[in-house]
Each structure stands twice: as C-alpha cells, then as structure tokens.
Structure 1
Amino acid sequence: MINGAHVIIHSRDEEADRAFFRDVLEWPNVDAGGGWLIFALPPAELAVHPTDGPGAHELYLMCDDVDATVRDLTARGVEFTRPVTAAGWGRVTAFRLPGGGEVHLYEPRHARATDR
C-alpha cells in the first residue's frame, strides 16, 4: 500500500534552496547524510490536468490566507514573480526559489479532499 509521496525539486543551487525551505519556510527536516536534507511536507493533495504532450510537473503550496502569507514571506526576503490573481479554484501567485525555480502559492476556494 502506498503510504506517502516524495517530491523532488531540481535546482541550480540546491544548497540555497535547502536553506530556503529550512530557514525561511521553517519546515522540519532530517539530514539523510552529507547535508542532504529531506523535508516534511504539509498535508498534500494531487490533481491530474490534461495536456497535449509530456508536461512538466508543478508544485503549488497552499495557505489559508494568500495575502497574509505573501506579506510574511516578503518580509523574509522572498521574491514574488507574479501578482496575486483570482482563479475559479482559488487565489494564486508564485515566488522564486534561490536556485532559480518557481513555486506557486495559492489559497484554495475549492472543496478539499482532506475536508471529507
């Protein structure tokens, strides 16, 4: 039986991105050896979206109040790459990781599988 998921973020600067998740987001972690940090994730959900060809996977972090979270993370030096916009399923923005990657942040406005 599957009992979890492991998300991988590819980075041009893995040390900076690991420090971001450890120090800025303050996610619990363990050192798997040699400074290779493995982070505990908050509760998660998965959606399958249509595509015409091979698609890249995306990471969306969820929060209860996107405006408050943007203010908090901006105060911690996080660079947001998109303004908060409304979509039918929630309010969304994105921020840059130190290694150059982009992560989305959204406040869901849809039913959540964890609400059942």
Structure 2
Amino acid sequence: MFSGAHVILYSQDAEADRAFIADVLGFPHVDAGHGWLIFKLPPAEVAVHPTDGPPQHEFYLMCDDLDAVLADLAAAGVETTRQVTEERWGRLTAVRMPSGAELPLYQPLHPVAHSL
C-alpha cells in the first residue's frame, strides 16, 4: 500500500544541516533541485506513544553500537549534547547539528520492527 515514509526536519540553517547529514553522517541523497537534498534513511519503524499533552512527533536515528557511533562522531568534531542514559528499552543520547538543533540517537534493547 505504501512505498515509504518522508520525514521532514525543520532547521534554522537547512544548508548546514543538509551538509552535516551528507558529509558527516554519510547518508546517500538525491538533489531535488537547487541543492534541496533528500536523503535515503536506514530502515525505519514507527511507534505510537500515549500522551496527556498535545500530539507531537520525534525523530531518532537508531544504531547497533551507540558507543562506536559516538566515537566516530566525536572524531568528526560533533558535540554530544546529552549524557547517555540507560533505559530499560534502550540507550539514548543526542548530538548537535550545525543549526544548533539536537539529533537524538538511540540504541534499542528491545525487538525492532524495521527488519520485518
């Protein structure tokens, strides 16, 4: 029924964040015209969490080895913005994008759906 999902990240410095995703994170991309890059994401999954507040959406990049990813990003000069927390469902942190926005990173410790 569906062929994919399109995620949009709003940025105060879209050009710098696009370069970060392309050059530092190494995501392949197409140019939709005039430097408007659209990136191929790794396999994805979606979860629906309850909330008492207004609906919101979050975007996390998942990884199999959070420590290795953080070491690679640190070597590229990327700042970690949150201490790694150990939750029952996974390990969580975030890094700073050039625009100043945080990009959460997540190593799941639960079964994942993206490879079904």
Structure 1 stretches of 4+ moved >3 Å: none
Quick one: which amino acid aligns to residue 114 of structure 2? T
Paired residue secondary structure (2:86): strand
Distance 2:101 2:27 in 1: 18
Contact 1:92 1:107 survives alignment (8 Å): yes
Q: State the shift of 1:58 in Å.
A: 1.1
How many aligned positions are there? 116
Distance 2:69 2:63 in 1: 7
Partner of 2:27: 27
Distance 1:101 1:55 in 2: 20
Q: State the shift of 1:3 in Å.
A: 1.4
Q: State the shift of 1:55 in Å.
A: 3.1
**TM-score after normalising by structure 2:** 0.94
* Counterpart mapping for 1:13-92 below 5 A: 13-92=13-92
Partner of 2:112: 112
Contact 2:43 2:115 survives alignment (8 Å): no
Q: Which runs of 5+ in 1 are unaligned?
A: none
Identity of aligned residues (%): 64
Contact 2:13 2:99 survives alignment (8 Å): yes
**TM-score after normalising by structure 1:** 0.94
Paired residue secondary structure (1:83): strand
